[in-house]
Structure 1
Amino acid sequence: MVRRLLPLLLLLGGCSSTPDVQLSCGIVSGYLEPPAAEHLYRVVVTHLNDKAVLSRPNFRLSPGVYRFTLAELIDDPRLKVALAARGTKYLDLKVEAGKRYHLAAQLYTDKPYVGNNPDYWQPKVWQEEAVECEPDVQN
């Protein structure tokens, strides 16, 4: 009986052993506090590729181009725009394998921004760093 099962077990064992495929990804983060001295502030991701997401500190993504919808968290006494002007903005980002991208809101201080002027800020990547990761299942 063992002699009959041995070839079958060897065959099945060969089927289950596949070469290690290393998955690669990049990470987009919004959890680090950017340097306020450079007029940079935190942001919250509200949408990824136009789909609403629950905000989280890190988004592990396969390499590719993604569209982030961001809301700024600017807390600066110079900012005098109306609450209605404090809307979301887009950031299109090419995510590369092995990189972490830290997002921020760049507050423009070149002139006073008041009323309904939404041009007081722009989303940006304020820091990049090398990282090892595997993609989330829910990409």
Structure 2
Amino acid sequence: MIIQTNCLRRYASLVGSLALIVASTAHGATSADLVGQVAPLAKATQQGMVPSADERLREELKVLLLDMIESGAFGSPSPANIDLAIDAPRQRISSLGVLVDSSGSEAARNGLRVLGTTPGGSAQRMGLQSGDLITAVNGSGLSGLGESEAGMAQAAVILREKVDGAGNDPLRFDVVRNGKAMVVSGVVASTWIPAVHLRLGDGFAVASADNRVAGSAEAQDGCGRVSIFDVAPRQQSLHAATLISIDGRRSPFGGQTSFRLSAGTHVLTVAERIESRYLPFNDRLRNSNTSEPYKTLTIHVAANTTYLLAAKLNQDRRNEWRDGAYWEPVIWKETSESCTP
């Protein structure tokens, strides 16, 4: 495992950046078409003509997006119905540059074994070497921690969290090298990437005045959006949520994180996706709560407004798994954004 923070979010940010790309794929562009568009860029590079950052991003996004569509990453909807909105704050990308054996609890019984370091990277500059056994980071022990839910060593999860949260503060590693205990320390190199506000597709109208539940308010002119893209701040006990239905209607939601709604009142059916490490009970108890697996939230959608949906962890009731009292769906942020395609 290479310890590098936020790589998944960075990957998602790349995927969702340009509506231009969606237009080409949604109107019948094939793999050959896109490869044909990328080839001139590669040729220009070979001839010493350096492409601009904008050109590089556009071409790389075309290839990445095509690969994701063909691999089924967006689920069953056709490319014309893919709707993805990505909003992410400015963020720090930190890279320790160390490869450790995170294959399971047995491999990390006594700590994390260093398999290699990136030449010139932070780990190498600090003095970490292949063969070192990292037993603690900033005073947190890494031995005997077992496996994470993903089946990897929990020690590697702790190491990643420490790197993510280090900022400009130094990291201290307790290391065993050739049977001798020692300490290495240093600051992890990091880079700031700008805030992201990207749109993929023209949007998919999943709810309108024609499919309201009984008792809903009359529709207003215009439309707004509900987004489940996960940028909710954990320090505010806000976590990812999944949209199950809108006004009682289940649509092919696979691959969507943004949903266009007519202005007016709508009823959302929501499921929580709170990470297990934030909960005091295990997933067996969590999943046994079949009587109330989902919760509803009624919202009044204003025209040209995007509503960010999340699952709020109720800290004062976080142990109450039986009735799902530990969480509730909330709109945690509203932003002004045009809804028209």
Q: TM-score, normalised by structure 1?
A: 0.73
Say whether 1:60 aligns with 2:264. Answer: no
Structure 2 CA distance for aligned equivalents of residues 72 and 115 of structure 1: 12
Q: 1:78/1:44 Cα in 2 relative to 1: closer, same or farther (>3 Å)?
A: closer
Deviation (angstroms), 1:33: 1.9
Give a deviation string over 1:71-113, Cα, whole Å, max 9, x none: 1000142421531227110011110001100000000111441
Structure 1 CA distance for aligned equivalents of residues 322 and 266 of structure 2: 28
Q: Secondary structure at the match of 1:110?
A: helix
Runs (4 or more) in structure 1 with deviation over 4 Å come to: none
Q: Aligned runs of 1:29-40 on 2, under 5 Å?
A: 29-40=227-238
Is contact 2:319–2:326 with CA below 8 Å preserved after alignment? yes
Structure 2 CA distance for aligned equivalents of residues 43 and 112 of structure 1: 17
Q: Aligned runs of 1:93-132 on 2, under 5 Å?
A: 93-132=299-338
Structure 2 CA distance for aligned equivalents of residues 134 and 65 of structure 1: 19
Structure 2 CA distance for aligned equivalents of residues 125 and 88 of structure 1: 16
Identity of aligned residues (%): 29
Q: 1:48/1:115 Cα in 2 relative to 1: closer, same or farther (>3 Å)?
A: closer
Deviation (angstroms), 1:52: 1.2
Among residues 261, 270, 286, which one is paired with 1:82 in the alignment?
286
Partner of 2:124: none
Partner of 2:101: none
Amino acid in structure 2 at the alignment position of 1:85? N
Structure 2 CA distance for aligned equivalents of residues 29 and 44 of structure 1: 10
Q: TM-score, normalised by structure 2?
A: 0.31
Partner of 1:8: none
Amino acid in structure 2 at the alignment position of 1:130? S
User: Quick check: 35-44 or 79-88, which moved more?
Assistant: 79-88
Is contact 2:318–2:327 with CA below 8 Å preserved after alignment? no
Among residues 224, 243, 261, which one is paired with 1:26 in the alignment?
224
Structure 1 unaligned runs (5+)?
1-22
More helix by share: 2
Partner of 2:246: 48
Q: 1:88/1:46 Cα in 2 relative to 1: closer, same or farther (>3 Å)?
A: same
Is contact 1:40–1:105 with CA below 8 Å preserved after alignment? yes
Q: 1:24/1:120 Cα in 2 relative to 1: closer, same or farther (>3 Å)?
A: same
Report the aligned-residue RMSD. Answer: 1.9
Q: 1:123/1:96 Cα in 2 relative to 1: closer, same or farther (>3 Å)?
A: same
Structure 2 CA distance for aligned equivalents of residues 58 and 32 of structure 1: 11
Q: 1:115/1:67 Cα in 2 relative to 1: closer, same or farther (>3 Å)?
A: closer
Structure 2 unaligned runs (5+)?
1-220
User: Quick check: 117-126 or 70-79, which moved more?
Assistant: 70-79
The count of corresponding residues between Structure 1 and Structure 2 is 113
Deviation (angstroms), 1:61: 1.2
Structure 1 CA distance for aligned equivalents of residues 324 and 286 of structure 2: 9
Q: Secondary structure at the match of 1:100?
A: strand
Q: 1:52/1:33 Cα in 2 relative to 1: closer, same or farther (>3 Å)?
A: same
